[in-house]
Amino acid sequence: MGELAAEIAPGVHVATAEKYTTTTTIIAGEDGGCLLVDPAVSVADLAALAGWLSARGLCPVAGWSTHPHWDHLLWSRALGGAPRYATPRAVAVAAREEADLISGVEESAPGHDLALFARVQPLLGHEIDWPGPRALVYAHNAHAPGHGAIFLPDSGVLIAGDMLSDVEIPLLDLDCADPFGGYREGLRLLASIPGVKALIPGHGHVGDHAEFHRRITADLAYLDAVQAGDHVDDPRLTEDWLRTEHARQMARAAETTRRSAN
Ligand SMILES: [Zn+2]
């Protein structure tokens, strides 16, 4: 059996759950404290994570939820009572959509302590105040409203949330007024971050600097093709649920084109 989490940069560990290749990021700070980003996904995954942390003398002193989707709002009693943050917009959306988010957990990862689910508070400012490496927040509205990527300038690690995946196509927030424009804006923001040496997607595999740029290019190419109504031959279209989302995104693009032509 391998390590639960891989150290991808000094003091930055990534655990990958089997379900949806979901990542959890652990950033070691001072005096055994750590910043825990998106702990996921099953009850057993969180129990194993808590065991791994305590075996290494690490204790979460702050949590970060990258965006208001159920698989990024989980927590367990064994992870302790640290404050958990998200962008103000993400906190508002999580509160408004709590019932739907809970249905998502119950359907896909039952058994979590719902008293701890989505208990996030708004982070004011653009940096997490915690005793450890600087953690800067880059907020945008691609994929989900109030999406907050974390960039660690000391190590050049970007924790991207559900963006820049190698296993999922760009998944747009079709509930917003301009899903394609919003997604492009989010990509532009992430692409503008200087000094990215390692990329951690919410689902998929860690990439280096070159892979970071390759994924930005691949995601822009995907959006271009969908908006042009072209046939999309993206190697990430591997599963039925992704093909379903892709079809919805194609339909939305076609509808937008039709509307602007009238
Ligand atoms: Zn998501």
Ligand 1 is an ion; its neighbours by CB within 5 Å are 69, 162
Average pLDDT over residues 21-40: 98
Question: In which band, very low, low, confident or very high, does the pLDDT at 257 lie, cut at 50, 70 and 90?
Answer: confident
Q: How far is the CA of 262 from the centre of ligand 1 (A)?
A: 33
Cα 261 to averaged position of ligand 1 atoms, centre (Å):
32
What would the pLDDT profile of 127-167 be if each residue is shown by its tens digit? 999 999 999 999 999 999 999 999 999 999 999 999 999 99
In terms of C-beta density within 10 A (0-12 exposed, 13-18 middle, 19 or more buried), how is residue 119 classed? middle
- The pTM of the whole model exceeds 0.95: yes
pLDDT > 90? residue 261: no
CA of residue 132 to ligand 1 center, whole Å: 26
pLDDT band at 208 (very low <50, low <70, confident <90, very high): very high
Residue pLDDT, tens place only, 164-191 = 999 999 999 999 999 999 999 999 999 9
Going by pLDDT thresholds of 50, 70 and 90, the confidence category of residue 2 is: low
